[in-house]
């Protein structure tokens, strides 16, 4: 099985594709599932479902994301990406290979199942959030899903170890887009203009103050401006400046409060400077919240010596959270970090040893054998 998983991962690594355009990926997955004897269902065009009917009233779901990133790979490996400007830099190739391995195991153990099983090969985790689209289509209700499980490879966790926690594991995230419109003038006649770069600099400071002035110190939140663009010449007052960033929290209420405060700050600046500020700050993915009672079972079933119960959640985001808004679920990390392979997620040199994918497979098997929904 380890060799088969290694083969699947490397074949998938060669053909990375961005969200909702994973056509070669879907074709490969469906070929492998057909060879195993499964019938599959197509969803969202490139998504693939396998339903294993064990003649039970309830279903356990297991999910893998399938999309890649617009990154040029810099690894010198024999199975390097064959698609220019695209790379599996977030481990989704490993997630798919693990779920294929689980599908093969289930084929030989169908008569032992206490629940029906739904395998979800989901497109567009990175964007726009394929999980949310599937939830809206009623996928979980259709198959009577009562619990869902998923994993993510993590180079910051020692190789072969699991890491997880009850409650918040990953953040709610949203994109912040701000356009400031003012008045152009010569820098020598500065008073005749409305300087949007100066206004942008003040906005950033005020946005950053929201965490201190409006959010309880017991809550966590992050507002980061990652892009800013404005101006046309060194001696001209910029009449337009745009900023783009991210907002992340572990609470929908905190996200709404940050968004509300941003609107108030913008209105104040418009009044003071006579500018116009257009702003969009909508949530993309909810927070990943591991069900507390299910987590206690997960820990008892899956944890081994050296596995890690995380003290704090991460400010990363994951669309697995959409499933958890409907049914209890557990999302967990499988460590792949070694002294030789420790490049971070979403980097051009991310890579891992496939033998550690077996820990993910072993965990899925332990869950289907022992968990009580």
Catalytic residues: 65, 126
What is the dihedral sign for C-alpha 179, 181, 184, 190? negative
The conformation of residue 141, written as its DSSP 8-state character, comes to H
Nearest to 207 by CA among 275, 273, 277, 271: 277
Q: Please, are residues 360 and 4 in contact by the beta-carbon 8 Å criterion?
A: no
**Helix, coil or strand: residue 74:** coil
Helix ranges restricted to H, 109-193: 130-136, 139-142
Residue 290 corresponds to which tokens in the numbers above?
């591991």
**Helix, coil or strand: residue 6:** helix
The conformation of residue 343, written as its DSSP 8-state character, comes to P
Helix ranges restricted to H, the chain: 2-13, 23-35, 92-108, 130-136, 139-142, 196-213, 252-273, 292-302, 321-324, 357-370
d(CA 79, CA 84) in angstroms, rounded, equals 14
The Cβ of residue 340 has, within 10 Å, a number of other Cβ atoms equal to 8
């Amino acid at each position: 099985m380890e060799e088969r998983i290694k083969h699947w991962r490397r074949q998938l690594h060669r053909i990375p594709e961005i969200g909702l355009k994973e056509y070669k990926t879907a074709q490969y997955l469906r070929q492998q599932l057909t060879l195993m004897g499964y019938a599959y269902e197509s969803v969202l065009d490139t998504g693939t479902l396998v339903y294993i009917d064990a003649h039970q009233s309830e279903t356990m779901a297991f999910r893998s994301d399938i999309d890649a990133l617009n990154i040029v790979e810099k690894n010198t490996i024999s199975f390097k990406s064959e698609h220019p400007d695209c790379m599996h830099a977030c481990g989704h190739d490993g997630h798919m290979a693990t779920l294929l391995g689980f599908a093969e195991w289930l084929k030989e153990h169908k008569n032992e199942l206490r629940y029906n099983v739904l395998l979800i090969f989901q497109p567009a985790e990175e964007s726009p959030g394929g999980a949310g689209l599937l939830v809206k289509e009623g996928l979980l209700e259709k198959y009577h899903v009562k619990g869902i499980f998923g994993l993510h490879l993590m180079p910051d966790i020692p190789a072969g170890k699991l890491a997880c926690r009850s409650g918040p594991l990953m953040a709610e995230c949203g994109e912040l887009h701000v356009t400031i419109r003012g008045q152009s003038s010569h820098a020598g006649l500065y008073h005749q203009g409305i300087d949007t770069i100066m206004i942008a600099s003040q906005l950033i400071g005020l946005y950053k103050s929201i965490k201190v002035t409006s959010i309880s110190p017991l809550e966590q939140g992050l507002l980061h401006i990652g892009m800013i663009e404005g101006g046309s010449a060194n001696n001209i007052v910029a009449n337009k400046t745009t900023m783009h960033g991210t907002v992340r929290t572990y609470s929908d209420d905190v996200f709404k409060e940050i968004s509300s405060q941003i609107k108030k700050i913008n209105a104040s600046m418009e009044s003071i400077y006579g500018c116009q500020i257009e702003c969009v700050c909508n949530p993309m993915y909810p927070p990943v919240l591991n069900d507390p009672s299910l987590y206690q079972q997960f820990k008892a079933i899956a944890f081994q010596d050296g596995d890690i119960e995380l003290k704090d959640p991460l400010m990363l985001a994951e669309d697995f959270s959409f499933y958890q808004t409907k049914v209890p679920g557990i999302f967990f990390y499988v460590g792949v970090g070694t002294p030789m392979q420790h490049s971070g997620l979403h980097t051009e040199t991310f890579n891992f040893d496939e033998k550690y994918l077996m820990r993910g497979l072993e965990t899925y098997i332990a869950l289907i054998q022992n968990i009580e929904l």
